[in-house]
Every structure is written in C-alpha cells, then in structure tokens.
Amino acid sequence: MSDSLFNFEEEDARARHKKLVAQIRHHDALYYQKDEPEISDADYDALRRELEDLESKHPELVTADSPTQTVGAAPARGFKKVRHSVPMLSLSNVFSEEDVGDFLDRIRRFLGLAENESVGIQAEPKIDGLSCSLRYENRKLVLAATRGDGQEGEDITANVMMISDVPIELPDEAPDMLEVRGEIYMRRDDFAALNKRQEEAGKQLFANPRNAAAGSVRQLDPAITAERPLHFFAYAVADDSVLSAKTQNDIISTLQQWGFVRAEPFDVCDNEDALMAYYQDILEKRPDLDYEIDGVVYKVNRKDWQERLGFVSRAPRWATAHKFPAEQAITRLKDIEIQVGRTGALTPVARLEPISVGGVVVSNATLHNEDEIRRKDIRIGDMVVIQRAGDVIPQIVRVLTDKRTGEEKEFPYPDHCPVCKSLAIREEGEAVRRCTGGLICDAQAVERLKHFVSRDAFDIEGMGTKVIELFWEKGLLHSPADIFRLEERNKELVCHSDPRESGAEESVASDKRSFAGAQDDNELRPLQEWEGWGEKSAENLFAAIQNRRTIELPRFIYALGIRQIGQATAKRLAGHYGSLEALKTAMDAAQDRESEAFADLLSIEDVGPAVADDLLGFFAEDHNREVLADLESFLTIETYEAPAASDSPVAGKTVVFTGTLETMTRAEAKAGAESLGAKVAGSVSAKTDYVIAGADAGSKLKKARELGVTVLSEEEWKQLIGRD
C-alpha cells in the first residue's frame, strides 16, 4: 500500500471518528443529564457500533475519553454530586445470533477454554429505566445515586426512599457495608395513569415510562416523587466480595431474601442455543410484561470467571446486552438543513413530517454527511423508512423509491457556509465539508464559546447555550476572555446608565461600540435590566464566572477546543508538561519536526502525527497565542501533576508483553496490568519500564536488551505485582 493511500484512509477514519465522538457525547448528555433523548436507541446503537468498528480497524484512534472507553455523561446540576466507590459501568451491545456467538467465543479465548466448553450465562430482561446505586451502612440505606458519568452521579437519596421496592433497612445477616445496583422504572399501567393526570391538569405529557421515571426521581421536592408510582429492580452489587455467593444467580437470590425484587423471567443458560431460545421467548412476551424492556442482558454466572475476565474501560468483559430490533415507520422527508459546528463541520439534518413511532412523535434525524445522502439517494420530498427502539429521533433506513412522484428534489450540498458564506471545502481524506471562515464565521465562534463554558471545560453555571447565543447577538462576547470582562463592563453600564451625568453621553457612545456593539437601546442597559434577568440572576452569573478564574490545567487545555484534543488527551498533555508555560515552550520547540521536542510530544500516549499536527497548528497561529495571552491576564491556571492510577508497584509504568505466556492469555495479562495502573504499549522504546518476555520472544526482547530496559519473566512479573 502506498503512503498516499494509507494517509487518505487514516485521515478519513480520523475525521469520521471525530464526528462520531461528538455526536455520541451530545446524545449521552441529553439522555443521562436531561432525560430528553432526541435519537432512538437504534440510532444511538448504530453510532456506537460504527465507532467500535472504526476503532477496531484503527486502534490508534482510541483515546481514554472516547465513548467506547467512558460511561454516560456528567451529572446534572441541581443535585449534590456523589463519587461512586466502585464505578458504575455500562454494557457492550450485541444485535444478532452471530454477535452472541462471538461474545461467548471471546470469553472462551480470554479464559483459555476449549472451543465448545460450556460457559454458564445468566440471562435476564434489560429494563428501560434509570440506573441507580444504593449504599447501605450498618444495614441502613444512607445514599442513593444515579449513574451519572460512571464515576460521579447525583445524590437522589431522599427521593429513592419514597420507592416501596427499596428496603430502607436490611436484615441482620446482611453485611455492614453493601452497595446494591439496580434500575428505577415505572410500570406501563402506572405510566398511562400518570399521563392521564398530567393531561387533566393541563401539564406536559411524558414521552415514555423511562423518561417519566427519570423525571420523577429527579424532582428536587421528594414529595413530588412520593406521588409518582416508581419501582426498583436489583441486578448486582458493587463489591461481591462481601457476599459468600459463588455465582451471579446466587447474588441476586440473596438480595431477594433481603427484600429486593429481581426482573423476571430469568434463566441460566449453558450454550448459545439456550440463550437464543430465551431471547426469542422474552421478545414474544415483551408486549405483555408490566414494564418496558429494550433487550436482554447476558452475564457470566461464575464469579471467579467474572473476576478473571475483568473490565474494559466502560464495560465488563463478562456481560453484554442483546438489544431488540428497532421499530419502524414510514414518513416524508420535508427538508434538509445544514448546521455548522465549532470546527466548521457542515452537518446535514433531516426534517421529517412528524410521525408516532412506538408512542413517540419524531420529526428530526441527523444525517452524517453528504456521502450518506448520496449513498442512500435521499431526496427532499421522499417517503422514507425510519426506525427507533425506545426513545425519540430515528435513523433513515432506506428511501421508498417506488413512492416517488417525480416532484422530489435532490439536495444540492452547499460548497459555501450557510452562516458566513465562506467557501466550504472537503479536504482530501475527510468525510466532512468544513467552512473556511474560521473566526469570521459566527456559527463557529458561537460553538467554540459554548464548548469553552461547557461542563467538562470551564463549567460556568448559568452560561448555557441560550445565554451564549444571546450575549453573542448583543455583541458582548467575541472571544473567551470577554466572558471575564462581562462584570466590569456591566458595572460601567450601571455607572453610565444616566446620560445626564457629566461626560456620560460620550461614555455611553463608547460603550455602544465596545461593549454592546449594537443599535438596540436595550442592549446598552445593565444586564439586570434586560428582559428575563434581574439583580439576583446577574449576580449569580458573575459569581459563577468569578469562581472559574482559577482552573486546572487539563480543563483549560480541553476548553481551548483544539481539534482532536479531548479530555483524556488534555490530561495527558497536562501531566506531561505540568504547566501552561511549559506546554507553550514545548510547542514552540516542537514546530521543528526533527527536534527532540517533537519526538517527546509523539511519545505521549494517544498523540500521533495527526494529533500533533492539530496541536502544533493551534499554537503556531498568532491569533490563538493572542487569545491565550488575553485569557492568562484574567486567570490562574494551576500546574498539574498526574495522579497515580493506583498504589501498585507498576502504577504509571509502561510495560510491553512479548512471546507466549504460559499461565494466562495475553489479553488477561494486559487487562491485569492496566487494572494496576500500568500502561501497556505495543512496542519497546527508551521510555518502556518493563518488558515481560514469554516463550519464543523475538524482536521486542532484542530491542529491550539493546536499550537497557528491564526484562522480566512471566513469573518475575507476577511476583512484582503480588500475584504469585
């Protein structure tokens, strides 16, 4: 394969990866934080499958903050944040009988089992509800929390205590400390009754039982939750070492004895045929169940095997969800609109004739790019098949070409930005077309400001999408540093709000140019005098901005919105360089691609040539350096020291496995090392700390000896990590 072809494929994959990551994060936030999903389960699953396939073909694209490595979304505001003692992970998905077979085969390979050896799997319904963790101390319920982003959730204790299925106190035989995981849900008949009451009261109806349950448990007033008919199914414990059970089924049976309810029907299956028979049985019973389900869950039954299998970043290896087929409907595509993101990407959005699919009205669908429109031959006016499985916006499955009347219109994909009219180009190897307007494009500038204040960046309370758009429209914001000028400029408007004061007329005219930059007299008034604002809301906003004048370096780097620099990469850059000043100095030096600084940059995990190009390109731009200097004049950017992943002797060490291992599979060895905080690399370099050499080790062992890297046998490695 030629270099040019390889680069084309790599860049195309990288661009598609970037787009998929952004889409999935957006939908995670809507689902986990707001309980207002705008795409269907099927559409969401399709995005995840595509991302997983892409990363399997291009492992260099995988980063620690990729949706394949993370769970959910950050907790919503309004509830106290709670750190989970054990992360609440998500599940991988399978969609076909072949996928189920692959799941079982992967388990056998990881454990080193024979090809047809039986693997006992507990199968249970997958409840479409809100994940919740219950913490008991001295057998009394002391804390209930949502999943959140898997690491941190919301404290909903007062509300959960209103749920009759949740025991407030456990019997004497229960351990002193126990954390039970489960699903809060609403039964179908209760959901229908609730919506009837909502309608009679003239209130908004809930879209489905899942949204109703999530909305009910997230009420700030527990009395409202008490009025809602909620239930709880238990499906796991966070730390099963506190129980004597040897199987997953034994654990849930024990929880039943202590007053918890489990989802039924369930079964323990010994092979793929039994699993598929269970799946078909549940699929047929689905309409008659009291609660909504969107699939079934398979879990390795033996606890010792679960422990050996362990976890990937966002999911256990020993469990998966088998999702049900998507529901479908037919509607008309009324129009296609183009949205412009912060990186200038032009994204087509399908506007559909509203239609009810499975009880939910849908009217929009996100089309990935112009290639998808061309590939599916989608035209404005077409009748299209859409599908969903659980929540709202569908994906367009296919066009019904036999329904065409001849009046349908092909969509002329724009070659100019619809916002700033700048040329929109599609670079070689990229799947998306981008506006070249940069800073003169309002859409990009506004989206960058939204990113700057977003939850994982500066996280400025009260400065959401609508506020950013309003301030931009009124001319108050042009760059990130303007955010930190808002309060002072507002004070100037207060001082000059009376034009009869000496010199005030000239000051007001100046403010009109520099502060508001618009003609509407309303925009010259202090913020607290604007419609919808007041003294308290303005005060709260300025206080929130003031609270972010000191920020951690990883958040600051991420907030800059540099292409391909996600949260994980921002943390790695911060941990590697320590301070913003050191980072800027290193980026200056690394502009020389032959320099030691450039080689040092490439040594950072997840920073390949393409990421380095985007990073160096950002720091080479004079305007960006001016923005940085402007921000530094307002901020205290804390130096950063990357925390140790664990207190094990190999935490933070880079290790390479080579040769044939005898007492564990390569996958098991790698997973064990990563669980102890080590970084497992695929090649040996001067930065490698240990090479673990099995039988028939070859070039990697030779290079390790040449570089003086410590070489360990498999037995010496196990002694080092305390696993003799």
* Ramachandran quadrant class, 90 (left: phi over 0; alpha: psi -120 to 50; beta: rest): beta
Closest by Cα among 651, 609, 618, 632 to 553 = 632
Contact 192, 250 (CB under 8 A): no
3-state secondary structure of 187: coil
- Distance (Å, whole) CA 96 – CA 92: 13
Rg (CA), the chain: 28
- Distance (Å, whole) CA 623 – CA 602: 25
| Burial (Cβ within 10 Å: 0-12, 13-18, ≥19) of residue 261 | middle
- Distance (Å, whole) CA 378 – CA 366: 13
Per DSSP, helices labelled H in 298-441 are 303-309, 370-375
Q: What are the φ/ψ torsions at residue 587 (nearest 5 degrees)?
A: -70, -35
The H or E element spanning position 540 is: helix 535-546
Closest by Cα among 249, 250, 212, 248 to 231 = 212
Contact 194, 215 (CB under 8 A): no
Tokens matching residue 585? 């100095």
3-state secondary structure of 102: helix
Between the two ends of the chain, the Cα-to-Cα distance in Å is 45
Name the DSSP letter for residue 654: E
Contact 486, 530 (CB under 8 A): no
Contact 88, 180 (CB under 8 A): no
Cα dist. 300→234, 314, 669 in Å? 17, 17, 20
Q: Looking at 18, 19, 126, 450, which residue is catalytic?
A: 126
Contact 87, 150 (CB under 8 A): yes
Question: What is the amino acid identity at position 274?
Answer: A
Tokens matching residue 131? 């994940």
CA atoms in the 13 A half-sphere facing the CB of 400: 14
* Sheet of strand 679-680, all strands in order from the earlier edge strand to the far edge: 679-680, 654-658, 690-693, 710-713
The H or E element spanning position 274 is: helix 272-285
Question: Helix-strand-coil percent breakdown of the chain, rounded to 5?
Answer: 40, 20, 40
Tokens matching residue 139? 């057998």
The H or E element spanning position 625 is: helix 622-632
- Distance (Å, whole) CA 254 – CA 170: 12
- Distance (Å, whole) CA 204 – CA 198: 6
* Ramachandran quadrant class, 503 (left: phi over 0; alpha: psi -120 to 50; beta: rest): left
Contact 156, 217 (CB under 8 A): yes
Instruction: Map tokens 């099963």 to a residue.
Output: 240
- Distance (Å, whole) CA 658 – CA 656: 7
- Distance (Å, whole) CA 564 – CA 610: 9
Residue 525: CB partners within 8 Å, gap ≥ 6? 493, 497
Sign of the Cα pseudo-torsion (209, 211, 217, 221, in order)? negative
- Distance (Å, whole) CA 27 – CA 47: 10
Cis (ω within 30 of 0) for the bond into 287?
Answer: no
User: Is residue 703 annotated as a catalytic residue, yes or no?
Assistant: no
Residues marked active site are found at: 126
